[in-house]
A and B are shown apart, each in its own frame.
Chain A
Amino acid sequence: MAGAEGAGAAVVDPSHLPFRGAGISFRSEWRWEVIRYRGELGAVECIPDNVAGPAGLRDLVLINQAVPVLLHGIGLSLGSAEGLDPERLEHLARVVEAVRPPWFSEHIAFCRAGGVEIGHLAPLPFNRQAVDTVAANAQQLRRAIPGVPLLLENIAYNFELPGSEMTEAEFVRSVLEAADAGLLLDLENVHANSQNHGYDPIGYLESLPLDRVVEVHLAGGVVRDGRYADSHTRPVPEESWALLEWLAPRTSVRAVIIERDDDLPPFGELLAEVRRAGEVLDGAG
């Protein structure tokens, strides 16, 4: 991969990144379970936006001592034409400094514009202007967290914006190349989009730059009013497991994270999914 221009650029090559295996997204409700079952978790993924001060940062450092922490942003709004919020970047830099994660991930999306916080990830039009916007913001992000490899995640989207010039897969590829980022491939988002937009998920995966895949997200959603909602409230569906089994032998995946945000199950059910993901990675060699 070509290196990004500018100081602090970090080239993302999955094979040079540490292997973390299977883990979960962190919920404060599971703080003690995470510590108790640390031997079964390869990583816990935490959201820096949720760290509200020194006590939160101290908790994060304690968790990192028990299980390696991965940092996953949800609110930088990397696709915003207005650029990034310096306060959020400073906050992220403080959290990164405390945790020293092997990489940092964010979404190919925007979540605020004109002072309005959407509260969710909104899609970008699949065009060159959006590609250049994400690349420029990624450059700014890199300057805030120098030396930390950047991963970008494909999102689930329910509607497509006017002004698209390419397919979703071409757009993701273009963004990753322009930003020189690794791919956090959310297979549940692929599953959801394939259901809602009527495409073949394997065909979609085949058209992505799989050599950039560093991390995978798995989750489970629900069908509501005829559409599949990526709600992170259910066990991982078999369709997404099948995608992981297809993907694992074709990539150098370093971590698989099971995401669960609501309707939290007994921790044992989550651990069973973690073990299954680990077995898929082990089986892929």
Chain B
Amino acid sequence: MELGDLQRDLAVRLVNHQPAPAGCDSGAFAWSQDSLEAKRRRAAGHLLPRLRNALGISWFPRFREHVERYTPAGMLHHVDDAWAFAEAVERESRDPKLRLAAQDDLVSMRLRYVRDPRQEAHRIRERRGPLLAMLHTPQRAMVVKLPGTPGRLLYVCV
């Protein structure tokens, strides 16, 4: 098999939890797939602390569902990954507590970054423009980010 074909096949198998390619140690391959998922989950956990806490033990299965249907992209692919997960929870969850946790974590990320799904390498970039958003935890507050690099932050409790 040509190297390019081998790599395309391997990338899909690794990311989508498919069986190991022929001639590959299936146990070691599965171990690598689990490690990849754990790495994604750990990185997302750092970026989504409220959502992780709100999900509790459901964090693991919910993130597994996300891994099965989303492939992150770009240089800051861990940010893209967490962003997509939080947006999915915000969009799909019926639990208002989860939706608020996802929204607040998204605000935290939006204060720092902008995300453009049309982009590949630069999908996640530093935010330079202004932002006005509401945070709900630990208390309700309006947050304003002024334009600039990095841009001043103002919190107004409401």
Contacts and interface: CB of A to CB of B under 8 A. Distances in A.
A224 B72 CA distance: 25
Contacts of A54: 126, 128, 149
Nearest to B7: A113
A91 interface: yes
Contacts of B15: 116-119
Nearest to A159: B28
Contacts of B122: 87, 91
Nearest to B80: A117
Interface string A154-168: 000011111100000
B149 A58 contact: yes
Interface string A225-258: 1010100000000000000000000000000000
Contacts of B120: 85, 87
B42 A262 contact: yes
Interface stretch (A9-17, A61-69, A122-130, A270-278): A122-130
Given A113-B11, A114-B12, A52 B126 contact: yes
Interface stretch (B29-37, B57-65, B89-97): B29-37
**Consensus secondary structure, chain A interface:** mixed
Contacts of B71: 116-117
A80 B6 CA distance: 10
22 contacts: A50-B76, A52-B76, A54-B128, A54-B149, A55-B126, A79-B7, A81-B2, A85-B120, A88-B121, A110-B7, A113-B4, A113-B8, A117-B72, A118-B36, A119-B15, A119-B40, A122-B14, A125-B6, A159-B32, A162-B1, A162-B22, A224-B31
**Interface pairs A-B: 6 shortest CB-CB:** A53-B126, A162-B23, A81-B4, A114-B8, A113-B7, A87-B121
